[in-house]
Structure 1
């Protein structure tokens, strides 16, 4: 029983220690001396505060281009000061863009005991490094189709990086993620806390800063203290633009550390003095830029309002994009439904017209014990039916034109009769207005021309249906052309009769 009690006491003690360690709060502090970000990332002279860059790297006010999209380019940027804290978190925003389907070679984040070269052999930095490298490899050297790839490689200063196998035998851990040519800059968050290395990755498909996913986590990782941060990139036969937009460093401290390693009061005053000088220098450069570019600068309060959006604006923009997408989808669905309804209506009208012109008798109901009557065969084909529809449409249009012309003739005849009556009363009983005769002659000629045109169009219509749908067995059929000619002749006679009657009435009134 005594041995069991001792084991229980040991287990309880270990449990308490684990709970105490896990419940320790983490204090975070932004480290400006190990960070850079836009705007004003680089000074007027091209330098980056607290950092040094070289090789083919170019620093601007918005980003640091480590390697441009040209062949065999290498560049790097390194922090001037070593780290003074044990645990840290680094947030890197970068862009790797190129016109090719694949790119090369990639970029790397470094934590090493010594600053590396600016034109080294391993992604722009030195080989045989002592520390950690987070490599964003975009070229598939081993032809295993496993790139772009993110991997962590540890080195004690004696190992040579194996480029042919993409370091597959040397990596600590990694994940397959595509970071080239994204609509938004991808981001990587590297956290080293209590000997645990964790890498999160933002794929750049959205502008939401919280869209991180776990790439890998490795425990029992021991890194040397007092190392340097660095970033490097390189191109080969293929080339991409390798841009780093910001690198933000945060120191992590446990409760027992009390803010990390303690520094003396003189060192603290020195750091504060350097920070104040840097702030004054930055403000002077801002004021000078405002004086030199008065039209491009906004007021001081809203100087950087356009750089960021609030949570409400981002949520409203996402909702608006979703609504617009739904509206486009509904519009497409509505269009497709209208097409289907139109096709169904057309098909039903064609079937109704065809069965209404069939030569057989109506379909009789099926007798008991007999199969249902079959639908009669179509009397004409598809081509004949299209021709018949076109012929009917031409007849409808022609009749509409003739109707409008007859209405116009009736209106003109009324006006001419009124004008001729007034002229006859002024000129005498036997006088005839010449204008009235000319207009009447033109109207008759136009009527003849219209009737002839109608007859010509009707005669040119092709005979689509070879066999008529119905015949006239007992009476002789009259053609449409003859019918139109008879109607036109009757209208002409009625017109002349009306004119003659009006003239007689006018003469009789004048005589009395």
Structure 2
């Protein structure tokens, strides 16, 4: 067991030594001959130092517009010299903007053994390239709804790019990212180190330079040595502005490479000490110049007062906005106070009027009046609401009754043929009711006649014989005459009423 433990320990130590020996420290160096950035990106004659551009590309002091937002535009920019290092990292800041919901065609970064064309068929560069192309494709040619898309395509100089499928069968790797119409410039970091290609992407939604996300990583990627760096863009039926703000190239070196030789600690301390001495000397020279030229320093300070920095401008705008908000709030407070004062004045006047109506004594203008209790209680309010509801119901019933009378009148007029000039038609229902009443009167009279003709009883109240009472009796004929007169009067009244209703109907 002891020998086995010793062997295991030796194996572990050997593995650790091998790992530490294979670890390499990456040294980075900025390559200005393969980079461009603002300000003064382009010279006065329009040229970009160490770079050449052509086609529809336009260079300015702040950016290079590879393809403007016009149809069928192509442009490219290429480094004049090939790179002289194996591993590199390129940081590209660009903006792709357009008014359309869909853009076209896109932008591409190139690392090829030969410089491409400025008006080529593949995003403004040549087809059948030998090397790497990182394409930012914004138009969906295959209609699969997978654009904007970032992809890497390796070509050995013998293949044509498949535009119909957006290079789906030729790409090395890629990711779906939207880089159009962002509030801030988008960025892409392309790193090629130890045959490993890594692409990071910044979505342009923030200004944080460290806000990168991994797009893809591909291993075992072999690229030709000493290639040219380039950028190109193209538009088609749709168009976007393709602006490149900067392209920064950094060479990557390991500890074994000549370009990555490490400086010793003594040399680093010496350089740092020299730098500090230089800083002190520079500050001393500035101070001496201020003492010798006080007028110029004063004029410079006065000139500085005329201008403001971005931070000062933002603070000034914030303070102005706060002052405006305070002014508006103050005006609102004044208006609210005025409204409250008017309400209190109206309330005091109503209180004075109510007190005067309750006591019968006038209230002096300066007299303090106590607020009386509310004159309407909850019970009174409920009674008032119930009476109001009852009134509404009564009105509804009257309306219904009036409509019913109108309907019956229309029916009577239609049954009798309308009213004539001298009288009105009689309602058949009324005649039937009148006939029933006459029959009832006849029956009553017949009963009365039977009682009159019947013999009187022999005795009333205790056996005493009796005779007809001493009253003046009316004969049957007179009674019939009186009843007939009453019936005639009722008939005349009914006819008169029907005539009035018919005339009233005509007015309506």
Query: Aligning the two structures, in what range does the TM-score lie when normalised by the shorter sequence?
Result: 0.5 to 0.7
Deviations 1:318-344 (A, max 9, x none): xx9xxx9xxxxxxxxxxxxxxxxxxxx
C-alpha deviation, 1:16, in angstroms: 4.4
C-alpha deviation, 1:467, in angstroms: 1.2
Specify the alignment match of 1:337 in structure 2: none
Residues 298 and 253 of structure 1: is their aligned pair in 2 closer, same or farther, counting only changes over 3 Å?
Answer: farther
Specify the alignment match of 1:193 in structure 2: 193
* Cα distance in 2 between the residues matched to 1:207 and 1:13: 47
Say what the alpha-carbon RMSD is for the aligned residues. 4.1
Specify the alignment match of 2:250 in structure 1: 250
* Cα distance in 1 between the residues matched to 2:71 and 2:362: 83
Specify the alignment match of 1:177 in structure 2: 177
Residue 83 of structure 1 aligns to a residue whose secondary structure is coil
Residue 94 of structure 1 aligns to a residue whose secondary structure is strand
What TM-score, normalized to structure 2? Answer: 0.52
Runs of 4+ aligned residues of structure 1 deviating over 2 Å after TM superposition are 5-22, 297-302, 395-412, 463-466
* 1:73 lines up with 2:24 in the alignment: no
* Cα distance in 1 between the residues matched to 2:171 and 2:149: 11
C-alpha deviation, 1:399, in angstroms: 2.6
Residues 306 and 173 of structure 1: is their aligned pair in 2 closer, same or farther, counting only changes over 3 Å?
Answer: farther
* 1:221 lines up with 2:221 in the alignment: yes
Aligned residues: 298
C-alpha deviation, 1:20, in angstroms: 2.2
* 1:86 lines up with 2:37 in the alignment: no
Larger gyration radius, structure 1 or structure 2? 2
| 8 A contact 1:179–1:203 mirrored in 2 | yes
Query: Among 399, 413, 416, which residue is 2:350 paired with?
Result: 399
| 8 A contact 1:131–1:223 mirrored in 2 | yes
C-alpha deviation, 1:258, in angstroms: 2.3
Mapping of residues 58-457 of structure 1, within 5 Å: 58-259=58-259, 399-400=350-351, 402=353, 410=364
C-alpha deviation, 1:168, in angstroms: 0.5
What TM-score, normalized to structure 1? Answer: 0.52
* Cα distance in 2 between the residues matched to 1:26 and 1:18: 16
Specify the alignment match of 2:401 in structure 1: none
Residues 396 and 9 of structure 1: is their aligned pair in 2 closer, same or farther, counting only changes over 3 Å?
Answer: closer
C-alpha deviation, 1:51, in angstroms: 0.3
Residue 22 of structure 2 aligns to a residue whose secondary structure is helix
Residues 11 and 143 of structure 1: is their aligned pair in 2 closer, same or farther, counting only changes over 3 Å?
Answer: farther
Residues 405 and 246 of structure 1: is their aligned pair in 2 closer, same or farther, counting only changes over 3 Å?
Answer: farther
* 1:45 lines up with 2:45 in the alignment: yes
Specify the alignment match of 1:465 in structure 2: 385
| 8 A contact 1:85–1:260 mirrored in 2 | no
* Cα distance in 2 between the residues matched to 1:93 and 1:226: 24
* Cα distance in 2 between the residues matched to 1:16 and 1:46: 56
| 8 A contact 2:352–2:363 mirrored in 1 | no
| 8 A contact 1:152–1:171 mirrored in 2 | yes
In structure 2, list runs of 5 or more residues that go unmatched: 1-5, 262-299, 323-345, 367-382, 391-508
Residue 21 of structure 2 aligns to a residue whose secondary structure is helix
| 8 A contact 1:86–1:260 mirrored in 2 | no
* Cα distance in 2 between the residues matched to 1:306 and 1:174: 42
C-alpha deviation, 1:139, in angstroms: 0.6
* Cα distance in 1 between the residues matched to 2:304 and 2:229: 34
* Cα distance in 1 between the residues matched to 2:108 and 2:302: 39
* Cα distance in 2 between the residues matched to 1:178 and 1:140: 13
Deviations 1:344-389 (A, max 9, x none): xxxxxxxxxxxxxxxxxxxxxxxxxxxxxxxxxxxxxxxxxxxxxx
